[in-house]
Amino acid sequence: MNLPIATLTLFSLATVIAQQPAEDWTLRQPYTAQSPGMALHPVTGRPVLCGGYSLIGALPHLWEWTGDAWLRHVTAPAPVAWLVATDEQRGQLVLVRSGGTWLWDGVHWQSRPSLPSVLIGSPAAYDSLRGRIVVFSGLGAFNNTWEWDGTVWALRPAGINPGVRAGHAMAFDAARGRTVMFGGFDGAFTGFNDTWEWDGTVWQQRFPAVSPPARDQHVMAYDQVRQRVVLWGGVTQQPANLVDTWEWDGANWVRVVTAHSPPPPPMSSLLLPKLLFDRTQNCVTLFRGDVTGEVWSYDGIDWSQVVPGSMPAGRAMATLVDDPPRGNVVLFGGLSHAGLYDDTWTWDGRRWARAASVASPSARGGHAMAFDSAHGVAVLFGGAAYSGITTVPHDDTWTWNGAWTQMQPVNRPPRRAQAGLGFHAPSQRVVLFGGVDGPTGGPLRGDTWTWDGSNWQQENPATSPSARAAPCMTGTAQDVVLFGGANGLTGQIRLADTWTWNGSNWTLLQPATSPPARLFPACTWDSDRARVVLVNGPAPGSGTGTPIDSWAFDGTTWTQLVTGTPPLNRHSHTVAYDARRHELVLFGGINAMYLDGIWTLAVAAEQATFGAGCPGSLGVPTLQASAWSIPEPGGVAGFDVANLPFSFAMMAAGFSRTSAGPQPLPMSLQPFGMPGCALLVSPDATVLLVGSANTATWSLPLPSVPGLLGIELFLQAFAFDPAANAAGVTTSNGGRCRIGN
């Protein structure tokens, strides 16, 4: 029996942050994935997305769609699944990959050796009447029907079947007790428009009077409210994208002419849309399957867009800045193979939102942006309209306060891109340095300008960094820090020098250690730890598989951060520090492709044990972290207790291991009839655990709230054991659980 500790004062104490704990990276939104699996969450009934590939490698994450945002759960047991389906009768997500079948009940993973010959892309349908997952794998020798009964995969007798094909779609028609299949193409790439039904014993071809045109890569789902199988989209053999909607009523296909329709996804067999019936919303829901992240719903009459492009497309040379008055992080512009962007997005720690503004800077990349705390606005300067090897730099100034306003200063710096920009707190001015004008390579800028909220002023410092492009530059509590860059964008010498601006002059520092020289570093000010954090992979060209490196500057020296699971190497990305959520935010960049994932660097999760318990009739009760435990927002923390004489225990949980009220810890329990036992944690809350086989488990589901990062819980179990001592109770060792990434 697993009971959370009253969800406790845990969430009322969400502002309690651990002192300087270790850090870790977390991917906060799915990458654009090739061949991911999608099914329904076995408990909540919401859509879940699992695995897939991108050009940067396998994607092992599992995500749940909450209706307006993605929630990351645990890492899947395999990076890429052949098939993902939901066994609704047994409340399990079924994942098939090379080596076996994995089951997820919403918290725990367990494996089964049974493995069907299912290829990537084979569709599945859940037969709710028979409690079976049905798969038809129609390629080559794998022209087979398989069923999962909750324990093993069984190959069903061949007989007449739909024949060799791929790109087909299936859905279970619950009203008629049939699995319906439509379309696909054969080994000669001939398209089908045939309809088949599986009744659990045989396949039967249906011959409706009207059928959709031949196609593949279409999607199908059963509308439980209207009792119709819905088909949308696909690709013809020409090829051409389709966006038509059809319904199967068990006898015939009917074309539904809708006033609106989702636009077609990219014409690629690897970026497929997904169609499911979302039980939480009682509607058929389409996930369009490309970088826009669009979500649509269908009510039997028309399609409506639930979430418009819910995340920015992958890009480089954009800017990201924290916007404290509006409680979010702001992204603007950038470029990719698709061209230049002039869009503005806000990140609230959970999801992106496209921001609207009557006026806006023109599409550009390589612009500079910083938050002006004196005036409560973000300031943007310059950038360029890149076109091939030619750049057309800008010299305009814009401010953001929830909408863009173009400023009209009397004085302005000359045009440039790839400049550094940072806010100098003591003088209450924004500082601009460096950059490049004209085509790639120069001429370089080495001038310093300051912004007072309405006008620019050129400064004349006695000492100054050399002219350069693409440095890392950020304001701190005392000064502005500049690092690196290059003395050109082609044939350049990359730099590794560190400078500070005090309001009137630049000073070259000589730190004992320093990051290697690099181009396009990104840095930001971490106000919680009073440090500059620099995030960048090794210099471009050193390999796309190298993990990103991170450095911290405390005003004296640079220290390389040791983190778990860093993002892959990239350059031309952007970072900002979100002080409200105590995390660094990273977006975009280039690594064999323009990246669209958003990462955060924050407190790392950790579980450990400490102290000792006291012996009972089965030995000392032992407490250890559960193998499946993921103590992060959106995950589940868990500890197992063993050596329990009666398979139940009381679990004490609290926020301290040093004191319980005025009483210092550990505290001897001998006066209470428990010789050799000690209280190790503050018993702020207790819960009864009921297990079996002399063990029990404590678990605590954690909501996806970044404010929980850094909270520490301390645990100790009390076992009922009448033979052990006068009190009839023994204690376990202690457990420590820190919520983090």
Per-residue model confidence (pLDDT) at position 6: 38
User: What would the two tokens of residue 515 be?
Assistant: 């990051």
Q: State pLDDT tens for residues 693-730.
A: 999 999 999 887 767 878 899 999 999 999 999 999 99
What are the start-end ranges of the E strands in 152-278? 153-155, 169-173, 178-182, 195-198, 203-206, 219-223, 228-235, 241-248, 253-256, 274-278
Q: Is the pLDDT of residue 732 over 70?
A: yes
Per-residue model confidence (pLDDT) at position 709: 78
What are the start-end ranges of the E strands in 341-413? 344-347, 352-355, 368-372, 377-381, 397-400, 404-406
* Helices and strands: H and E segment counts in the chain: 0, 64
Q: Is the pLDDT of residue 18 over 60?
A: no
Per-residue model confidence (pLDDT) at position 532: 98
Q: CATH 2.60.40.10 region(s) of the chain?
A: 606-738
Q: Phi/psi at 651 (nearest 5 deg)?
A: -105, 125
Residues in the chain: 741
Q: Which of 273, 270, 354, 272 is nearest to 312 (CA)?
A: 354
Per-residue model confidence (pLDDT) at position 199: 95
- Mean pLDDT throughout 606-632? 91
Q: CATH 2.120.10.80 region(s) of the chain?
A: 88-307, 319-603
H or E element: which one contains 738? Answer: strand 729-738
3-state secondary structure 215-239: CECCEEEEECCCCEEEEEEEECCCC
Q: Which of 732, 725, 726, 727 is nearest to 694 (CA)?
A: 732
pLDDT band for position 170 (50/70/90)? Answer: very high
Q: State pLDDT tens for residues 117-148.
A: 766 568 899 999 999 999 998 765 567 899 99
Count of C-beta atoms within a 10 Å radius of residue 90 = 15
C-alpha 656: how far from its chain's center?
Answer: 31
Q: Is the pLDDT of residue 19 over 60?
A: no
Q: Is the pLDDT of residue 225 over 80?
A: yes
pLDDT band for position 540 (50/70/90)? Answer: very low
Identify which has the larger pLDDT, 341 or 137: 341
Kindly report whether the global pTM for this prediction surpasses the value 0.85: no
Q: State pLDDT tens for residues 433-455.
A: 999 987 555 689 999 999 999 99
Q: State pLDDT tens for residues 541-567.
A: 444 445 678 999 999 999 999 887 778
Identify which has the larger pLDDT, 591 or 684: 684
Q: Which CATH number fits domain 319-603: 3.10.20.30, 2.30.110.10, 2.120.10.80, 3.30.360.10?
A: 2.120.10.80
Q: State pLDDT tens for residues 643-654.
A: 999 999 999 999
Q: 618 vs 460, 613, 622, 624, CA distance in Å? A: 79, 12, 11, 17
Q: Is the pLDDT of residue 9 over 50?
A: no
pLDDT band for position 292 (50/70/90)? Answer: low
Q: State pLDDT tens for residues 473-500.
A: 999 999 999 999 988 655 568 899 999 9
Per-residue model confidence (pLDDT) at position 552: 96
Identify which has the larger pLDDT, 209 or 8: 209
The top-level CATH class assigned to 88-307 is mainly beta
Identify which has the larger pLDDT, 627 or 670: 670
Per-residue model confidence (pLDDT) at position 332: 98
pLDDT band for position 342 (50/70/90)? Answer: very high
- Answer for the pair 574, 331: CB distance below 8 angstroms, yes or no: yes
Q: State pLDDT tens for residues 395-437.
A: 999 999 999 999 999 999 999 999 999 999 999 999 999 999 8
Q: Which of 588, 492, 487 is nearest to 535 (CA)?
A: 588
pLDDT band for position 107 (50/70/90)? Answer: confident
Q: State pLDDT tens for residues 65-99.
A: 877 777 777 655 554 677 889 999 999 999 887 77
Q: Which of 270, 315, 317, 260 is nearest to 290 (CA)?
A: 270
- Answer for the pair 44, 105: CB distance below 8 angstroms, yes or no: no
CATH number of 606-738: 2.60.40.10
Of the listed ranges 316-330, 446-460, 583-597, the one predicted with least confidence: 583-597
Count of C-beta atoms within a 10 Å radius of residue 300 = 15
pLDDT band for position 35 (50/70/90)? Answer: low
- Mean pLDDT throughout 5-26? 50
**Residue 709 DSSP SS3:** coil
